[in-house]
Amino acid sequence: MTETIHTLVIGGGQAGVATSAHLQSQGVPHLVLERDRIAERWRTWRWDSLVANGPAWHDRFPEAEFTDLDPEEFAPKEAVADYFVRFASDRNLPIRTGVEVTNLGRQGSTFRAVTSQGTVEARNVVVATGPFQKPVIPTVITLSGITQLHSSAYRNPAALPEGAVLVVGAGSSGAQIAEELVRAGRQVYLSVGPHDRPPRRYRGQDFVWWLGKLGKWDMKAPTPGTEHVTIAVSGAYGGHTMDFRRLAGLGVTLLGRAGGCRDGVLHLADDLAANIAKGDANYLSVLDEADAYATAQGLELPDEPEARVLHPLPDCVTTPTLALDLKRAGIATVIWATGFQLDFGWIDLDIFRPDGRPRHQDGVTEVPGLYFVGLPWLSCRGSAFIWGAWRDAERLAGLIARGAG
Ligand SMILES: Cc1cc2nc3c(=O)[nH]c(=O)nc-3n(C[C@H](O)[C@H](O)[C@H](O)COP(=O)(O)OP(=O)(O)OC[C@H]3O[C@@H](n4cnc5c(N)ncnc54)[C@H](O)[C@@H]3O)c2cc1C
């Protein structure tokens, strides 16, 4: 069976829902195909206690508020997924769930999508299959008797085998998971690489507010290859700054970057103090920029000098462990919070760079009628976030409605 539609959107996460809403309001006939459920990744690719990294007033589409949350609250992940489902159903968006696109090609000027339920032909295609598609697990540890999983498969402390846990990677996911585990009474080791760690709040405002004021959400991608910055932030427990000294105070043993593992011994780079110092410098630079902005704009915000007080470094940073015997440390589980990569193997079009990323300008590819939305740094730093995807989707839907690329 072949179905024909003006515009096909592939993926029904927040980026696909946003694209559909804008296509609808611009009068473009379209269909969204989602292989699972709407916003599936918020439900089944995230741990149970995850809340949004930004408060509810910020992490949402501009035209719909969270109805059951205080604007300053951090939405639990199920509430985020429900929000997108409700948004789609309130607008009667044409989203067909349970249909996977297994191949996308082009015949003449028509796109041909082979799906699990037949073929769809379209003049335009918007690929909205997510910024985080395939878990990355470096295969450095080969040791029997240790459970290894990616952060996208972690659920809660009780679901892990008894024993200590090594969390590799200290971005938002790794840092939050390590904190949850140590609070649950687990012995936790956390491998910390280079990172940014902005303050959760400063002078009465959340950091997402400051990023907006300082123009950081709108930043274009920096030098190619340096786009990825590991950022440790958390909305958990009401939201607090991710300070690794505080995690060490709770009992987490901080480690440097994980290297190779030989004979059950994990080798760690001697870079922990440098990574912590870089994170501190980033933290302090945000305070400096915020102060400068407040002064320049004459904002009357309460001073917060105590935010600049950094506590002494814990022993695990000043005398770091450089080799960890996993069995002797009682480690039963390794959680790889080491990120994701793209996976566009199902697209048969010559538009990819050697690293697998599509060639595009702000989401517009060199193939007429083919667009991407929701990718990190698609048009700016905010592009993979909820409201950023909304803004990119609006612009791309406008191009499609005008029949231009
Ligand atoms: C742990 C974590 C926490 C995050 N927290 C926040 C936050 O608090 N705030 C924020 O703004 N952002 C956050 N993000 C970033 C971003 O908002 C999420 O990654 C979000 O899920 C991205 O939405 P998306 O629609 O672009 O992609 P996805 O949610 O990944 O949706 C893509 C959809 O496409 C479907 N799909 C894929 N391939 C096909 C195919 N071939 N055929 C049909 N369907 C397909 C998938 O099933 C999926 O439902 C977080 C990310 C992570 C990993």
Q: Which domain holds residue 158?
A: 136-336
Q: What is the pLDDT of residues 308-318, one digit of tens each?
A: 999 999 999 99
Place of tokens 């538009």: 351
pLDDT tens track for 281-321? 999 999 999 999 999 999 999 999 999 999 999 999 999 99
Measured by CA distance, the residue closest to atom 38 of ligand 1 is 129
Residue 145: pLDDT band with limits 50, 70, 90: confident
Q: What SS3 state is found at 30?
A: strand
- The per-residue pLDDT for 85 is 98
CA of residue 374 to ligand 1 center, whole Å: 8
**Cα 259 to ligand 1 centre (Å):** 29
d(CA 264, CA 281): 35
For residue 383, what are its two tokens?
A: 């592009």
Q: Is the pLDDT of residue 68 over 70?
A: yes
Predicted confidence at residue 120, as pLDDT, reads 98
Residue 164 confidence class, pLDDT cut points 50, 70, 90:
very high
Cα 272 to Cα 275: distance, rounded to the nearest angstrom: 5
- Nearest Cα residue to 14 out of 36, 40, 47: 40
Determine the pLDDT at residue 224.
64
Contact 191, 168 (CB under 8 A): yes
Longest dimension (CA), the chain: 67
Burial of 139 (0-12, 13-18, 19+ CB in 10 A): exposed
| Domain end marker among 336, 354, 389 | 336
Residues 281, 157: one domain? yes
Instruction: Examine the domain organization and report whether 323 and 360 are in the same domain.
Output: no
Pocket lining for ligand 1, CB < 6 angstroms: 10-16, 33-36, 40-42, 46, 50, 52-54, 59, 100-101, 128-132, 173, 346, 374, 384-386, 389
User: In the numeric block, which tokens belong to residue 375?
Assistant: 């990718």
Atom of ligand 1 nearest to the CA of 53: 8
Kindly give the distance from the C-alpha atom of residue 344 to the centroid of ligand 1, in angstroms, as a whole number: 15
> Which residues, 6 or more positions from 354, have their beta carbon under 8 angstroms from its beta carbon?
none
Domain shared by 182 and 222, yes or no: yes
9 plus 108 within the same structural domain? yes
Indicate which residue's Cα is closest to atom 53 of ligand 1: 132
Contacts of 313 (CB under 8 A, 6+ apart): 245, 273, 276
Does 162 share its domain with 126? Answer: no
Number of H helices, E strands in the chain: 9, 19
Question: pLDDT of 147-156, one tens digit each?
Answer: 999 999 999 9
Among 41, 177, 349, the mutation site with the greatest number of ligand 1 atoms within 8 A of its Cβ is 41
Q: Is the pLDDT of residue 227 over 70?
A: no
Instruction: Find, among 321, 337, 327, 376, the residue nearest to 138 by Cα.
Output: 337
Question: Mutate which of 35, 111, 208 to test ligand 1's pocket (most atoms within 8 Å of Cβ)?
Answer: 35
Residues 153 and 137 sit within 8 Å (Cβ to Cβ) = no
- Going by pLDDT thresholds of 50, 70 and 90, the confidence category of residue 225 is low
Indicate whether 222 pLDDT > 80: no
pLDDT of residue 43: 96
Amino acid at 218: D
Alpha-carbon distance of 120 to 123, in angstroms, equals: 10
Average pLDDT of the segment spanning 113-119? 97
| Domain-ending residue, one of 336, 354, 381 | 336
By three-state DSSP, how is residue 313 classified? coil
Ligand 1 closest atom vs CA 40: 49
**The domain spanning residue 8 has which CATH number?**
3.50.50.60
Residue type for 386, please?
I
Are 192 and 329 members of one domain?
yes
Q: How close is the Cα of 314 to the center of ligand 1, in Å?
A: 36
The token pair that represents 394 in the structure block: 């609006």
Give the residue-averaged pLDDT of 260-273.
94
**What are 346-365's pLDDT values in tens digits?**
999 999 999 899 999 999 99
Q: 85-117 b/e with 16+ CB inside 10 Å = b?
A: bebbeeeebbbeeebebeebebeeeebbbebee
Per-residue pLDDT, 144 = 82
Mean pLDDT of the chain: 95
Distances (CA, A) of 259 to 150, 230, 262, 269, 319: 17, 18, 10, 7, 18
pLDDT of residue 405: 44
Which atom, in ligand 1's list, is nearest to the CA of 15?
25
pLDDT at 141: 80
Averaged pLDDT, 13-35: 98
Q: For residue 151, how far is its CA from the centre of ligand 1 (angstroms)? A: 14
How many independent structural domains does the chain possess? 2
